[in-house]
Amino acid sequence: MDTLETRELRYFMAVAEELHFGRAAERLGMAQPPLSRAIQQLERRLGVSLLKRNRRSVSLTGAGEVLLHEGRAALDATTAAARRTRRAGGADSPGGPRNRLVLAVKAAASHELLQKLLDAYAAEPDAAEIEVLPSGTCEQEEMLRDGRADVALMHAPFNSLAGFDSEELMTEGQIAILPAGHPLAAHKTLSLADVSDIPDLPLARWARHGTYPPGPGPEIHDQTQLAQLIALGRTVAVFPDSARAWLWAEHTAVPLTDAPPVVTHIAWPAHSRSLALAGLIRTATRL
């Protein structure tokens, strides 16, 4: 009736993303004709046209766009259910489910805070085991949504907290990281405008989901790469204060006066009901 099987959703997502039945079928590991048929059935069942086929190109209708977004959320929720259930498996000794929590953190994030949090929590009675899962740039949200992680350290305004519950842990300013020898490195403070268009030092561009924002700067996907490029005098970067921890001798940090403060949150799926998670959050807010 109005069921929407997971398989159908998967199929539609593939087609909607590829906008090409052949490639979508290949990605799904199946032949093209059954895929075409499945999508037709889906459209008939929903009573809605999802794709515009022009015999030569495929595009989304309005309803298709809606299903692309809502379906992504639904699929994520489903795989999250599977993952979390599987993870909870075996943990069934009465009196104390040996819960394990997966904590997603951006690799470059404040190491000090994380260390304090883990230490404090480990000291708690009946603390669950914490698995620290390093995540790429802005990937924590996705990880929480699809169940790879149970809880995450996020950094507003870079991460969006939409759809999660969260508690504020720490606020810090931002600094510009410059090559030590650069003229600007002599300043006591700088503004964003000062560092955003230095002719010889374009701002580095970070990979987000495999693609890079446009711009003149070098393409980066690794903090060490960035550190090296700065040391070589090829680029400049803007980071939260806590990045001072990993600066090299060839780097100079200069506070930025007008950069928005970075707020570190601990965030988790709003519907979570795990005792272990509650304990970790309590510990975190007490730091």
Q: What sign results for the dihedral spanned by CA atoms 186, 191, 193, 196?
A: positive
Minimum CB distance to its own copies smaller for 110 or for 274: 274
Residue 208 binds what, of its own copies, DNA, none (CB under 5 to 8 Å, by partner type)?
none
Contact 80, 146 (CB under 8 A): yes
How far, CA to CA in Å, does 54 sit from each of 12, 26, 77, 120, 150? 17, 21, 33, 60, 43
Asked if 39 touches DNA (CB under 7 A), the answer is yes
3-state secondary structure (DSSP) of residue 264? strand
DSSP 243: G
Q: 49-72: buried (b, 16+ CB within 10 Å) or exposed (e) per residue?
A: ebbeeeeeebebeeebeebbeebb
Q: Is 9 in the site for DNA (CB under 7 A)?
A: no
Peptide bond into 94 cis (omega under 30): no
Question: Is residue 26 left, alpha or beta, with left meaning phi > 0 and alpha meaning psi from -120 to 50?
Answer: alpha
Site of interaction with its own copies (CB under 8 A): 2-7, 9-10, 46-50, 61-63, 65-67, 69-71, 73-74, 76-86, 88-92, 97, 147, 162-165, 269-271, 273
As measured in angstroms, the least distance from the Cβ of 75 to DNA is 16
Residue 41 or 196: the one with the smaller Cβ distance to DNA is 41
Per the rule left: phi > 0, alpha: psi between -120 and 50, beta: everything else, 210 is left
**Sign of the torsion angle spanned by Cα atoms 180, 182, 183, 184:** negative
Closest Cα partner for 206 from 185, 223, 183, 187?
223
How far apart are CB 76 and DNA at their closest, in Å?
A: 21
| Contacts of 235 by beta carbon, 8 Å cutoff, 6+ apart | 201, 202, 203, 204, 217, 218, 226, 229
Query: Which among DNA, its own copies, none contacts residue 53 (Cβ within 5 to 8 A by kind)?
Result: DNA
| Identified binder of DNA from the candidate list 6, 32, 79, 228, rule CB under 7 A | 32
31 binds, among DNA, its own copies, none (CB under 5 to 8 A by kind): DNA
Q: Which does 41 bind (CB under 5 to 8 A by kind): its own copies, DNA, none?
A: DNA
The mark string for 53-92 relative to DNA (x by CB under 7 A, - otherwise) is xxxxxx----------------------------------
55 contacts which partner out of DNA, its own copies, none, CB within 5 to 8 A by kind? DNA
- From the list DNA, its own copies, none, which binds 36 (C-beta under 5 to 8 Å, kind-based)? DNA
- Answer yes or no whether residue 22 interacts with DNA by CB under 7 A: yes
- 6 is an interface residue for DNA by CB under 7 A: no
Q: What letter would DSSP give residue 202? A: P
Nearer to its own copies, 65 or 200 (CB): 65
Cβ distance to its own copies smaller for residue 86 or 282: 86
Residues forming the site for DNA (CB under 7 A): 7, 20-22, 29-34, 36-41, 53-58
